[in-house]
Amino acid sequence: MVFGVKCTKDSIHVAVLEGSIDEPSGTKDRLKITIKASNAQEIRGGVLVDMMKAFHEVLEKYKPECVCIKRAGNSPGRVSAKSQTLKGEVEGIIHMSCYQADVSVDELLNNQIKPRLGLQSGKSKDLHKAVNEQFSDFKFNDEQRDAILAGWAILDA
Among 69-73, 95-99, 118-122, the range scoring the smallest mean pLDDT is: 118-122
Mean of per-residue pLDDT scores for the chain: 91
* Overall number of domains in the chain: 1
Q: What is the CATH number of the domain that holds 59?
A: 3.30.420.10
Distance CA 17, CA 107 (A): 16
Where does the chain show beta strands of DSSP type E?
A: 2-8, 11-19, 24-25, 33-36, 66-70, 104-108
Find the mean pLDDT for residues 8-24: 96
Confidence tier at 72 by pLDDT (50, 70, 90): confident
Q: Summarize pLDDT for 49-60 with one digit per residue, the tens.
A: 999 999 999 999
User: Which residues span the domain enclosing 93?
Assistant: 2-153
pTM (two decimals): 0.92
Instruction: Please tell me the distance from the alpha carbon of residue 109 to that of residue 127, in angstroms, as a whole number.
Output: 11
